[in-house]
Amino acid sequence: MKEVIKNPYTNLERDLLFICISVFFAIGIVRFGVVNDLVSRIDELKIVGSFIAGFFFTSAFTIAPAAIALAEISQSTSPFLVAFWGACGSLVGDLVIFLFIRDRFADDVMEVLHTFKNEKKISNFFKKGFFRWLSPVLAAIIIASPFPDEFAIALMGISKVRMSLFIPICFVMSFFGILIVALISGAL
């Protein structure tokens, strides 16, 4: 009986297709103003608005309208309150992404790396040593920055960061990132 050889790129290609479809969907949502409309309608509910804007503060295609919404909400509310509830929403958004990316995407990347000649060295680079220590630090910096969180979460997934480390990193760094947005908007 002939053994079927699995193409290691199949899962990765499917994941990238899913990401591309999600990107186009997110672009459509932003283009049609769904995020802005939603946030402007709940502007009176500062906590809920901060939470929802924080949730959208995680993605590459919703970060700009979410940052604008957080800045607007912080004009009439404490920046610390906006940052706290925004970070809670951001954490939920990051958890959703993390639960989809952590194992599946990381395993697909590692499977593709196994096709390379020096796959043991590459695999060990991601799982041990300097990169394992550095990836949560880089991810924390990315999460606190106005850059989208997907890359940071993928870094944590590849290096197999535990959930007990992931949650506080995401919350604290999102809090500081949103607080900076709120404070800058208050100063302008």
For residue 165, give the nearest of 89, 94, 82 by alpha carbon. Answer: 94
Whether 108 maps to a domain, the answer reads yes
Q: How many helices (H) and strands (E) does the chain have?
A: 10, 0
Q: 135-170 as b/e, with b when 16 or more CB fall inside 10 Å? A: bbeebbebbbeeebbbebbbbbbbbebeeeebeebb
Q: What is the reported pLDDT for 3?
A: 47
* DSSP annotation of 7: P
Residue-range definition of the domain harbouring residue 53: 9-187
Whether 34 maps to a domain, the answer reads yes
For residue 170, give the nearest of 39, 35, 54 by alpha carbon. Answer: 54
∠ CA(96), CA(90), CA(154), 5° rounding? 50
Each residue's pLDDT tens digit in the chain (188 positions)?
444 445 656 666 666 676 676 667 666 766 777 666 665 665 567 888 899 889 988 877 677 778 888 888 888 889 999 999 999 999 998 888 887 766 566 666 666 666 666 656 666 666 666 666 777 788 888 888 877 777 787 777 777 778 888 899 889 999 999 999 899 987 77
Whether 3 maps to a domain, the answer reads no
Whether 2 maps to a domain, the answer reads no
Whether 117 maps to a domain, the answer reads yes
Task: Give the number of other CB atoms < 10 A from CB of residue 23.
Answer: 14
Task: Give the number of other CB atoms < 10 A from CB of residue 100.
Answer: 16
Q: How far apart are CA 54 and CA 83, in angstroms?
A: 8
Whether 42 maps to a domain, the answer reads yes
Q: At what angle do helices 63-75 and 79-100 cross, to 10 degrees?
A: 160
Whether 171 maps to a domain, the answer reads yes
Contact between 144 and 173 (Cβ < 8 Å): yes
Whether 1 maps to a domain, the answer reads no
Number of domains making up the chain: 1
Task: Give the number of other CB atoms < 10 A from CB of residue 186.
Answer: 13
The per-residue pLDDT for range 104-121, each reduced to its tens digit, is: 666 666 666 666 666 566
